Amino acid sequence: MRKEEWFQNLLKQSGGCLVVDGGLATHLEHLGANINDPLWSALCLIKNPELVRQVHREYLEAGAHIIITASYQATIPGFCSRGLSLAESEELLRRTVLLAVEARDAFRKSQQEKDIDDKNLQPALVAASIGSYGAYLADGSEYSGIYGPEMTLEKLKDFHRRRLQVVAEAKPDLIAFETTPNKIEAQAYVDLLREEAIDVPVWITFNSKDGVNVVSGDPFEECIGLAASCPSVVAVGINCTPPRFIHGLILNAKKVTTKPIIIYPNSGEMWDGEKKEWVVSHFCDNGVHIQDLPFSFLHPSTGVSDTDFVSYVHKWRESGASLIGGCCRTTPKTIRAISEALKRR
């Protein structure tokens, strides 16, 4: 069965919409992990892999159908810079998939122990994350897409090639190219998928800070069209983008592709690459300028609450999103609310 047919059948069996998990690093921090490090969540692969497995399990229990591995910022150069050998670095990449598979298998076993009929078992898929070159730099450039004039398509392909090979060999259900900030990196992914004959279904998602372009300024529709042109790509969409932009981006994506649209926004805050922290956007999620609001209106977290986040879900679904989840600053509580909202629908 072709990849697209497999994925379309999966969506049909799940009522037309799948729930993606939420912020892995966010929940790792909630559980006490210190990931203020260039490796970010990938640091836990070295120091506390059991905690990664726990986060995956909690997202499945919250209703997620797809859990994303802790490999977003896990790169071979990044691990080698910490003194690990090439073999050790590649093994850590494989471990990201193994931890998610172990969490999934334990969850499925618990479902079966509850005598849930096989045909009613919740889908539980593992998507191996591949973050952008900017994520490896750990300087916030995945939110600008500005890699400098010396960056070329071939350099990006060289950077991503071996990591893609390793995670594909680990046999996840899907590969997720996430937070893609510019068109040249999307082209690198499409070329690599063809050159390496990757046999794992893929999604590619972009991030935007204006609701029209990806963060580099490249037109969003052009990027989506490029990603969707690849036969290995079974879904395209948006992640780590403020919720207020998602509806319009879904509609724009639908202008250039009939492939399923995946969206997993962040909480509405913005990442400050210099301060290494999430900060409040200049605008609240309804478009009102922060300075025009009374101080008492602002939530201490400076982000969109779970209630407000979930209030968008039906609009996103009706607009054409087939996969819905959360990104940075969302938690299992957010995903549980999304899952319950979709079930009620």
Neighbours of 254 (CB within 10 A): 16
Tell me: is residue 223 an annotated ligand-binding position. Answer: no
Q: Which H helix or E strand runs over 47? A: helix 43-47
Q: Convert the pLDDT of each residue in 7-24 to its tens digit.
A: 999 999 888 999 999 999
Of 10-19, 62-71, 276-285, which gets the smallest average pLDDT?
Answer: 276-285
- Name the β-bridge partners of 323: 18, 262
Which amino acid type is present at position 133? Y
Q: To the nearest whole number, what is the mean pLDDT of the chain?
A: 88
- Fold classification of 3-344 (topology level): TIM Barrel (3.20.20)
- Band of pLDDT at residue 323, cut at 50, 70 and 90: very high
Find the distance separating the first CA and the last CA of the chain, reported in whole Å. 30
Give the torsion through C-alpha atoms of 36, 72, 84, 167, to 10 deg: 160
At residue 190, does pLDDT exceed 70?
yes
Q: What pLDDT, on a 0 to 100 scale, did the predictor assign at position 93? A: 96
Cβ(106)–Cβ(57) below 8 Å: yes
* Region 336-344 average pLDDT: 92
State mean pLDDT over 147-170.
Answer: 97
* Better-scored residue on pLDDT, 125 or 301: 125
The residue length of the chain stands at 345
Q: Is 328 marked as binding a ligand?
A: yes
Integer Cα distance of 152 and 166 in angstroms: 23
Task: Indicate the range of 35-44, 60-69, 200-209 predicted with least confidence.
Answer: 35-44
Rounded to two decimals, the pTM is: 0.89
Percent of the chain surpassing pLDDT 70: 87
Cα–Cα dist 232/238, whole Å: 18
- Per-residue pLDDT at 294 exceeds 60: no
Beta bridge partners of 126: 67
pLDDT at 296 over 50: no
Q: Which amino acid is at 343?
A: K
Q: In terms of Cα–Cα distance, which of 310, 302, 315 is closest to 341?
A: 310
Read off the pLDDT band of 280 (50, 70, 90): low
